[in-house]
Each structure stands twice: as C-alpha cells, then as structure tokens.
Amino acid sequence: MQKIYFDHSATTPVDKKVLNDMLPYFTEKFGNASSIHSFGNEAMAGVDKARKQIADSLNCNSSELIFTSGATESNNIAIKGLIQAFRKKNPNKKIHIITSVIEHDAVLEPFLEMEQKGVELTFLPVESNGLVNIEKVKNAIQDNTILVSIMFVNSEIGTILPIREIGKTIKKVNGKRLNNWKKCKTTSRGDKPQRIYFHTDVTQAVNFIDCNVQWNYIDLLSLSAHKIYGPKGVGALYKKEGILLEALQCGGHHENNIRSGTLNVPGIVGLGSAIAQIDSKTRDKNNIKITELRDRLVSGIIKNIPDVKLNTDRKVSTPSHAHFTFFGVEGESVLISLDLEGIAVSTGSACASGNLKASHVLIAIGIRKEIAHSSIRFTLGKYNTKKEVDKLIQVLPKIIKKIRNINPLYELTE
Amino acid sequence: MYSKKVIEHFKNPHNQGQIEKSDAIGQKGNMACGDVMKIYLQIENNIIKDIKFETFGCAAAIAVTSAMTDIAKGKTIDEALAITKDNIVKDLGGLPEPKIHCSMLGIDALREAINNYKNK
C-alpha cells in the first residue's frame, strides 16, 4: 500500500541533502566540538557552519544563537531563563508577562509554572481565526511587563500571527519609556525603565515565512529542526545580544554557559543544512505548490462531503494547513480509518490526546467542545503530490459516511 | 497502538444499527465528552435475542461496543448485567490504558437498557 503523509505539522521527513550533510559527522568527523585537537576542530567547523547558516536565515549574528534539543527546550530557556535572571538582579520587583491562549504547551506550561512562582500572567484572547488583536497587546502591557511571547504560526489551524506588528508595538512602548525617563532629571528619575522583551516560537513558520529577527523586532526566538525537513532532537534559540538568561541546566559551560551539554554535532549540522535549503526562492516555489495542493484538498472535501466546516482561515494561514470539522464523526475514528488506508493525519479530538482533553486552541477560537472532537487536521508538505490529495478525496467521503452511520445522534441528510 | 481484534471490530462492527421494535433502549455519554453509546435490545423469556448498537466515539469505543454485543447476545439479562469491563478488554486482546474508560460506557448503556426493561 502506498503510504501518504499529511501530518507535516507533527514532523517532516529529513531532506536527503540534509541527511547527506549530516552523515560524515557520525563516523568520520565524530569529534567532540569542545576538544581542541583536530577531531574536535573538524566537528566545531561543522557547528560553526551551521551557526552561520542559521544566522543568515534569521538575519542575526552567529554569537546570538544557542543550540538546544528543540523548540520545547528553547522556549523553556527563553521564558524561565529570562525571568529567573531578572529575579536574580531585581529580587523585589514584581514581574508581569503576556502570552496568547493559543500557544503550544511548550510555551503555556513554562508560563504557568512561572505564574505558580508568583509572576503575574496575562493571556491574550484570539479572534475566531486565531489572530491576536494588536490593541489588546498594547492594552495588556503594564509598567512591570518584562516578556511577551506569541507564536508565529499556530500549529493546529495554521494562522500566521502578526508578529512584526506586535514586535513594533513593543519596540514603540520601550522607546517611549526610555525617552520619558531620559527627559526626567537625573537626580530624581530612578532606575532605567525595564525593557519588555519579545519572544516568538517560529517552529511552524520557518518553512513558509521569512523569520528575520530585525524586520520582525524579535528579541528571543525558538525553532526546531524536525519541522523543516531536518533531524529530530535539535533546535536553536536566538537571543539578542545583551539579554541575560539564566541557564536551566548546569555542567560543561557549553553555548556561553546557557545550555550545558556536549553539542549534538550531526543534529546541529542537519539543522543548519535544513534551514539553508529554505532560501527565499525555494520558499516561494514551495509555497505556491503547497497552496495549490491545499486548495485542491479543501475544494475536494467541500464538494464531496456534506456538513463540514473549514476552520483554517486561508487568508491568514500558512499554505500547509487545512483544519476541518466533520460534523457527526469523532476525529480519532476518522484518523484510524484513514490510517488503515495508509493516510496519516491528526485530530484535535480528546480521544487521540494523552490527557483526553479537547484541544485548547480549538476551544480558544470558539469551537464548541462537542465539535472539537470532530476535527481533523491535514498539513501538507513539499513532497506531497496531487495524486495523493486525489486519493484522500476518493477515500474520505466513504469513511465519513460510514462513521456517521454508526452515530446514534447524527441524521444522514444525503 | 490497537490490537488486531480491535481494528477488526472497528472496521466491520458486529451488530451495528437499530432494532425497529426493540424491547429496551439504553443510552450513555454525551457529545461534549466525545462518546455516546446507544444499545437496542430484543428480549424473549429474559434472554437477549437480538442486540444492536450505535456509537459516536473513537475506534476503541466502536470496537468495545461491538465486542460487547457479541458477548451479550444469547445471554439472559442477568448474565448480561454481570458483564464486566475486564471481560470485554480481555476479549479484545487488550486496550491502551487511556481507552479503558470507553469500555465502561458501553457496559453502562447495556445495563441501562436492561434496567429500563426490568422497570417496564
């Protein structure tokens, strides 16, 4: 059976070019990048090259990058590391932080942990298409706000958040505060005002959008290799020069003491290579191709299956995503049925999650719990074909019909 | 993740549908929690002559209800009341831990149908 993969938001296959770039670093160039002999130097050369590749892509300096095990770790270091470093310097100051209700758990949970430790937390609501309103960001900022964290692309519905506008807003507030402070008499003005830092998780964005940190006014950024046709278990954190972060684990003082642990050289080389494949020309080309496939998939589903709703707002989303509600079916049973046909998708249904809770993202965009269970996410990638989309459109209507037929509460209207 | 038998029941559920002139009906669960089970019974001389089910739920929920109807069919109503979740899970060759609760809902719907019959 020909297998078809429509779950690129979960992970992507490693690009063959990326794999070839990585391979020598397992056997021939296996040295510890911290060693100062030739083996170590060879490994470090690979790390340096990857650092440069990532820096070029993000438009930052190599020295502003920290390699991690992935975006989850990058998020944890950015959020907890920033707050802990701030606390150390200002033990008596109250701290306020802002995030959105549709963040990934890898951002939400560190935020909630910080809240437990006495940090004041604001969750920004989102519109029904997942967008954050800039005015709401502005209004949420307090005198003691030190961090705003908003994802670039939502992994479930694909919404692209207005990162540049948010970054600009924060920059303006920072500039205004500094100017007001400068205008005050030096004898009475007190400490320099605290800067608000802007963190964004770009894990789902890199394939489709230029994540230039200068253009987007980003201070801290997390990314992961395995979502961009690179290997699993490696990611990076961009930290603008001068920002203080406290390490979450101690040890061998790697990565400027922020992330101790022997560098995952093949993984890092893979991350660099993966990001280097996504130059603006390739990105545009893939975006056009994937948009065409997504539109074919969406219109095929809408034409062939009654009683469905597209939850992805295509005007504001990455080309990859098509998130649907199929009324009257439970998502996990659709997922398993498609899997039996060799087609991989994902669902926001509680029945497919470890904690048996409906997706917080779907609830946040106003989807009722009973309908959240009926959702299926298709996420397309650069290797998908029209033929694969057509195969899905051929098998899915029968599956939905069969499962609706078993549902005691669903009246077949066909 | 699922045993072969679970997948078999899910692909081709046994006793799925409705009984037009049923002697008792039981329904448990709701859409918000993601599972609804409905059981139809035809009972003669306290024996379950026919049983049918409808389910809104995950693959496990469908398989569990399907397997349960196999076990219940032909049994006296008191025997059917004694069916436990372990009977079904064992019959299916095991279920992933988070899915065990699905099996309870099927049993609850069957018990409700039988109790409705008894209280008629």
- At CA A96, angle to CA A205 and CA A138, rounded to 5? 60
Nearest to B11 among A340, A356, A407 (CB): A340
Q: Indicate the range of A145-154, A178-187, A204-213 predicted with least confidence.
A: A178-187
Whether residue A322 sits in one domain with residue A219: no
Angstroms from B17 CA to nearest CA on chain A: 7
Contact between A333 and A385 (Cβ < 8 Å): no
Whether residue A298 sits in one domain with residue A365: yes
**Mean pLDDT across A377-389:** 98
| pLDDT score recorded for residue A167 | 98
| pLDDT score recorded for residue A414 | 44
* Subunit contact B57:A354, Cβ cutoff 8 A: no
Whether residue A322 sits in one domain with residue A265: no
* Subunit contact A408:B38, Cβ cutoff 8 A: yes
**A339: helix, strand or coil:** helix
Whether residue A125 sits in one domain with residue A65: yes
Nearest to A350 among B13, B34, B60 (CB): B34
Locate the chain B residue with the closest alpha carbon to A356.
B98
Tokens 């191709």 locate to A289
Give the whole-angstrom CA distance, residue A204 versus residue A198: 18
What's the domain count of chain A? 2
Give the global pTM.
Answer: 0.94
Contacts of B52 in chain A (CB under 8 A): none
* Subunit contact A406:B61, Cβ cutoff 8 A: no
Contact between A102 and A158 (Cβ < 8 Å): no
Average pLDDT, chain A: 95
Does residue A153 form part of some domain?
A: yes
Chosen domain end from A239, A261, A277: A277
Of A60, A211, A250, A351, the active-site residue reads A351
Mutate to test the interface with B, among A326, A406, A409, A410 (most CBs of B within 10 A): A406
Between residues A18 and B85, which one has the greater pLDDT?
Answer: A18
The model's pLDDT over A230-285, given as tens digits with 9 standing for 90+, comes to 999 999 999 999 999 999 998 888 898 899 999 999 999 999 999 999 999 999 99
Whether residue A223 sits in one domain with residue A160: yes
For chain B, the farthest-separated pair of C-alpha atoms sits apart, in whole angstroms, at 42
Give the whole-angstrom CA distance, residue B45 versus residue B42: 10
Residue A214, CA distances (Å) to A52, A164, A220, A222 in order? 16, 9, 11, 15
Half-sphere exposure in the Cβ direction for A181 (13 Å, CA) = 13
What's the CATH fold of domain B4-118? Sufe protein. Chain: A (3.90.1010)
| pLDDT score recorded for residue A352 | 63
Whether A126 shows a pLDDT value over 80: the answer reads yes
Contacts of B57 in chain A (CB under 8 A): 330, 333, 351
Domain ranges for chain B, please list them.
Answer: 4-118
Pairing of the two strands B47-56 and B35-44: antiparallel
Question: How many CB pairs (< 8 A) connect A and B?
Answer: 70
Whether residue A335 sits in one domain with residue A251: no
Residue A382, CA distances (Å) to A15, A229, A271, A320, B79 in order? 10, 9, 17, 9, 57
Task: Find the CATH number of the domain harbouring A113.
Answer: 3.40.640.10
Q: Is B22 on the interface with A (CB under 8 A)?
A: no
Q: Is B5 on the interface with A (CB under 8 A)?
A: no
Whether residue A99 sits in one domain with residue A66: yes
Interacting residues of A261 by C-beta distance below 8 A, sequence separation 6+? A249, A251, A252, A254
The model's pLDDT over A311-364, given as tens digits with 9 standing for 90+, comes to 999 999 999 999 999 999 999 999 999 999 999 999 976 666 666 677 899 999
Contact between B35 and B61 (Cβ < 8 Å): yes
Nearest to A406 among B33, B35, B54 (CB): B54
Of the candidates A251, A197, A307, A254, the residue with the CA atom closest to the CA atom of residue A51: A254
| pLDDT score recorded for residue A16 | 98
Portion 34-53 of B in contact with A at CB < 8 A: 34-36, 38
Does residue A3 form part of some domain?
A: no
Contacts of B31 in chain A (CB under 8 A): 370, 373, 409
Contacts of B38 in chain A (CB under 8 A): 408
* Subunit contact B34:A354, Cβ cutoff 8 A: no
Give the whole-angstrom CA distance, residue A324 versus residue A347: 9
The model's pLDDT over A21-69, given as tens digits with 9 standing for 90+, comes to 999 999 999 999 999 999 999 999 999 999 999 999 999 999 999 999 9
| pLDDT score recorded for residue A356 | 63
Domain of residue A400, residue span = 280-404
Does residue A10 form part of some domain?
A: no
* Subunit contact B34:A406, Cβ cutoff 8 A: no
- At CA A311, angle to CA A306 and CA A314, rounded to 5? 110
Does residue A410 form part of some domain?
A: no
Whether residue A221 sits in one domain with residue A73: yes
* Subunit contact B57:A330, Cβ cutoff 8 A: yes
Give the whole-angstrom CA distance, residue A66 versus residue A82: 14
Residues in chain B: 120
